Structure 1
Amino acid sequence: MTTLITGGTGFVGLALAEALRRRDERVILLATAPPRGELWQRFGDEDVTFVRGDVMDPVIVRDVMNNFEVDRLVHAAAITPDADRERREAARIFDVNVSGTMHVVAQALRMSAMRRVIVLSSVAVYGFADPGPGGAYDEASSGPAPVSLYGISKLAAEQGALRLAALTGGVVHVVRLGPVFGPWEYATGLRDNLSPHRQLLDAAVQGKEAVLPRSMQADWLYSRDAGDALAALTTKEALAHPVYNVGGSRMSDAAEWCRLLDRRFPGFAWRVAEPGEAATVTYGLPRDRAPLAVNRLCSEIGPFASRSLADAALDMMEFLDGQDRSGTGGNSNETS
């Protein structure tokens, strides 16, 4: 089986590719640029292929699906902007996040061999709406109420993709991801802010003091766990619902992450900003958001919870130690 991941050289795309390779799936990564060389070294096999291309080009999308005999699609390509980019590039954000989704999904639904189409979305579609009596955003009962252009564009992409499926008699599934951190994260130019966890790790490595805007509690989702959940949904024979949440299932915060980093980097200086003080860690949300309910996800793939923050820290340090040793060359297939 062959899975095409658009935006595949980004954070979540690489985590999903790693999980799919553990299942012996062939993976095609479509993106405008390859990942850093040391990340390519993580794969190093002929069953992961990078293709340079833009989701705004329907011809490239069609050719990739045909030439590689793709039978599963995970559409992850998107711009994740901060407020400054929202002001500067509102039209481009909608072009890529909405029109790009329409190009990709429309082509996938024309493919007779296509067995699964998944569009990645975000917890941002819920905005800061009331999560309801259970205290978590539920796919069936929590109404989307996005406030950022990113959330608005992702909701429009969801609805457009599902409408295309209804018009063509095809099937599309939407996956709303919670806040993600962990291995494979790097600056791509399409995500304006790295996760607080990565920003804090970089500060610890560089010996800089980190000032948090607040403790930033959320259902933080470890990237490798996100990849595993997405791989399970991608490869499952049949799915019962059109929309799935994938969140961390347990709450943690950036202050706890700082305490874990201090064990690896003794003397790491961090603190929460005083009132009126500027933070050195950028976090786009003005306040914390409720978690995602994952009951529907668990009904499909079995019990799921992102690993504890302590276990995530150990795994991430091992990943980065291996990355540091891997050099800068790449040896996965590449076409353009």
Structure 2
Amino acid sequence: MQVLITGGAGFIGSHLARALLERGDRVSVLDNLSTGNFENIRAFAHHPLYSFAIDDVRNALVLDRLASEADAIVHLAAAVGVQLVVERPTETIETNVLGTHAVLAAARRYRCRTLLASTSEVYGKGVKAPFSEEDDLLLGPSSRSRWSYAASKLLDEFLGLAAYREFGLPITIARFFNTVGPGQTGRYGMVVPRFVQAALRNEPLTVYGDGTQSRCFCHVRDTVRAIVELLDRPEITAGEIYNIGSSYEVTINELAQTVIERTDSRSSIQYIPYSEAYAPGFEDMQRRVPDITKIHNAIGWTPKYTLTQILDDVIDYERSRLTSGDPFHSTPGRRQA
């Protein structure tokens, strides 16, 4: 199978490319490197089954050429990080919505099997946990740009399902819940690498809010396995939405303490109000727990990695980076989940 991955130089995309190459698929990547990095794909950049184009997914000419050669498209390209969403909402909306529109147009032209990446953010301020794919969605007011990301990804879902219903395009939507693992950058404030990097330096771990907010963390290898299995089963999964994530819930306070213990760090925990970290009136989701019954019933998928295994993998990776003096993954950011 020939698979086009948009955003394929990013964290999830590069892990997906590696998995597909290892099983013998041909892989092409389209990435403008705005948040992805060539270091993520350097190891297989010269693989005979791999090709890479540095460009924006909204470049119709380049996208058309790559889609014409593909059997399937995995659309991962998107705006990344809460700070970017808060500070540059126009870019967030245009990148997500116009990028998805372009991908769907190309997929329709060449009848490509397509998987669209969505997010647990679409569940918004819902209080019924765990979140199921058919639950009602509750977002905050449009006057707060923080919700533009969730709204734009939700519109992506509507576009994808419309293409399935109107044109019979085999599209599956995956809602990711906090995918983490080796290679994820702290540059955009993703909480696990940010905590681990600070702990290894014996620096304070910064928690936004009071730390009672909870999340569920899924190893990137488990996420990639779900993507591949969904992609391989269009007869079952086309036209459907699936949560992908772990159901093991941990508060940010507990996560910080566990990271300190696993790294044998002398770090302390410091708290910063959301109003200082982002903007006055910033709203966060108190819980983000997926119901993964649907994906388990469809393809038998459940995550294999425990939180301890995930943290140990990230700690080993970041420790090796720190030892080698590689600065790529150490730039601080402000995203916490």
- Please, what TM-score do these two structures have when normalized by structure 2? 0.82
Counterpart residue identity of residue 230, structure 2: L
| Alpha-carbon distance in structure 2 between the residues aligned to 1:51 and 1:187 | 25
Aligned to 1:315: 313
Whether the 8 Å CA contact 1:29–1:50 is kept in 2: the answer is yes
Aligned to 1:144: 137
* Pairing of 1:50-69 with structure 2 (within 5 A): 50-66=52-68, 69=69
Unaligned segments of structure 2, at least 5 residues: 141-146, 327-337
Call closer, same or farther: CA 1:87–1:211 in 2, change over 3 Å: closer
Whether the 8 Å CA contact 1:17–1:227 is kept in 2: the answer is no
Aligned to 1:211: 206
| Alpha-carbon distance in structure 2 between the residues aligned to 1:149 and 1:237 | 30
Q: Name the SS of the counterpart of 1:103 in structure 2.
A: helix
Counterpart residue identity of residue 157, structure 2: E
1:123 and 2:123 are equivalent in the alignment: no
Q: Deviations over 1:66-112 (max 9, x none)?
A: 2xx210111111113435x4455333222110111011111111114
Q: How many Å apart are 1:300 and its aligned residue? A: 2.3
Q: Deviations over 1:196-248 (max 9, x none)?
A: 11111111233311132314421222222111111211223522451111121
Q: Name the SS of the counterpart of 1:218 in structure 2.
A: strand
Q: Deviations over 1:162-188 (max 9, x none)?
A: 213323232211111112222221267
Q: Percent identity?
A: 23
Match of 1:293 among 266, 284, 291: 291
Q: Deviations over 1:112-153 (max 9, x none)?
A: 4x2x2111000111101232xxx311112x012233100000
Match of 1:253 among 235, 251, 254: 251
Call closer, same or farther: CA 1:30–1:323 in 2, change over 3 Å: farther
Unaligned segments of structure 1, at least 5 residues: 329-336
Whether the 8 Å CA contact 1:5–1:76 is kept in 2: the answer is yes
| Alpha-carbon distance in structure 1 between the residues aligned to 2:324 and 2:229 | 29
Q: Deviations over 1:10-50 (max 9, x none)?
A: 12212222332343322211100295454334435333322
Q: How many Å apart are 1:290 and its aligned residue? A: 3.5
| Alpha-carbon distance in structure 1 between the residues aligned to 2:202 and 2:49 | 39
Whether the 8 Å CA contact 1:183–1:224 is kept in 2: the answer is no
Counterpart residue identity of residue 65, structure 1: A
1:32 and 2:29 are equivalent in the alignment: no
Whether the 8 Å CA contact 2:176–2:243 is kept in 1: the answer is yes
Aligned to 1:110: 109
Call closer, same or farther: CA 1:17–1:196 in 2, change over 3 Å: same
Counterpart residue identity of residue 268, structure 1: R
Runs of 4+ displaced beyond 6 Å: 274-280, 324-328
Counterpart residue identity of residue 146, structure 1: L
Call closer, same or farther: CA 1:197–1:234 in 2, change over 3 Å: same
Aligned to 2:266: 268
| Alpha-carbon distance in structure 1 between the residues aligned to 2:274 and 2:59 | 46
Q: Deviations over 1:268-311 (max 9, x none)?
A: 3132538899779xxx8634224111111112221402521111
Call closer, same or farther: CA 1:2–1:289 in 2, change over 3 Å: same
Whether the 8 Å CA contact 1:15–1:226 is kept in 2: the answer is no
Whether the 8 Å CA contact 2:101–2:159 is kept in 1: the answer is yes
Match of 2:219 among 219, 222, 233: 222
Whether the 8 Å CA contact 1:261–1:268 is kept in 2: the answer is no
| Alpha-carbon distance in structure 2 between the residues aligned to 1:120 and 1:276 | 27
